[in-house]
Amino acid sequence: MRVVILGSGRGSNAEAILLAQQAGRLGAARVVQILADKPEAGILALGARFGVPAKFVDPAPFRTKLEGEGEARFIAAVRQAQPDLVVLAGFMRVLKAGFLGAFAGKIINLHPSLLPAFPGLDGIGQALRAGVKETGCTVHEVTMDVDAGRILEQARVPIEPGETLDSLAAKVHAAEHKLLPMVIARLSHGEK
Ligand code: GAR
């Protein structure tokens, strides 16, 4: 199963996927391409480290969504890698009909909350400010409705008294690093 990873940031989840692959824990999946919408994204450095092609693709003209010329460039770059699965690992843009249609049924996203709670930006901060006793992370299918596609798997994280944004973020990220490679391995074995 050919996997393309899209990201915008430091790439700790992409790293977890690649470490799982190295350790033989990614099932029949293998990462064939990493793409970022920011030239300075840490995720791009993983390419050289793990021997996977990695490149910046210009997402212009929009700031928070992928549409128009930027969308066309991303569609072309992803298509070239012939993916069976497109993994959004910290890709901080809303995908639109063009991209979703080009890779229909093949796109999954990682979100740092127990969806449907706290969709959108800053899922970890939202949960902390809401005062809930538990949050977590979700891997779900990507559809036109932001953060609302079918949920594939979730992991729970307790919020302790005195929890800070930093301490909670560390716990959620640790849960994400286990959850996402596990779901990819499962999908690679044909599980839905
Ligand atoms: C992750 O926590 C992921 O859940 C979040 O961005 C972070 C990326 O970290 N994604 C979203 O908030 C999507 N709405 P990483 O670059 O270290 O993998």
- Between 146 and 186, the higher pLDDT residue: 186
pLDDT at 13: 98
Mutate to test the pocket of ligand 1, among 15, 110, 128, 135 (most ligand atoms within 8 A of CB): 110
Q: What is the pLDDT of residues 161-174, one digit of tens each?
A: 999 999 999 999 99
Residue percentage of the chain with pLDDT more than 90:
98
pLDDT at 14: 98
Asked whether the bond before 61 is cis by omega within 30 degrees of 0, the reply is yes
Q: What is the pLDDT of residues 26-53, one digit of tens each?
A: 999 999 999 999 999 999 999 999 999 9
Phi/psi at 67 (5° precision): -150, 165
pLDDT at 33: 98
Confidence check: pLDDT of 192 > 80: no
Contact 82, 2 (CB under 8 A): yes
Q: Is 12 in the pocket of ligand 1 (CB under 6 A)?
A: yes
Residues identified as active-site: 111
Confidence (pTM): 0.97
Q: Is 38 in the pocket of ligand 1 (CB under 6 A)?
A: no
Find the 136 Cα to ligand 1 centroid distance in Å.
Answer: 12
Beta carbons within 10 angstroms of residue 114's beta carbon: 20
pLDDT at 121: 95
* Domain spans in the chain, listed from the N-terminal domain onward: 2-188
Confidence check: pLDDT of 106 > 90: yes
- CA dihedral 68→88→102→96, nearest 10 degrees, is -40
Residue nearest to atom 7 of ligand 1 (CA): 90
Find the 80 Cα to ligand 1 centroid distance in Å.
Answer: 25
Confidence tier at 191 by pLDDT (50, 70, 90): confident
Q: Is 110 in the pocket of ligand 1 (CB under 6 A)?
A: yes
Q: Is 154 in the pocket of ligand 1 (CB under 6 A)?
A: no
Q: Mean per-residue pLDDT for 146-156?
A: 96
Provide the CATH topology of domain 2-188.
Rossmann fold (3.40.50)
Confidence tier at 108 by pLDDT (50, 70, 90): very high
Confidence check: pLDDT of 66 > 90: yes
The verdict on whether residue 109 carries a ligand-binding annotation is yes
Mean pLDDT of the chain: 97
Helix (H, G, I), strand (E, B) or coil at 138: strand
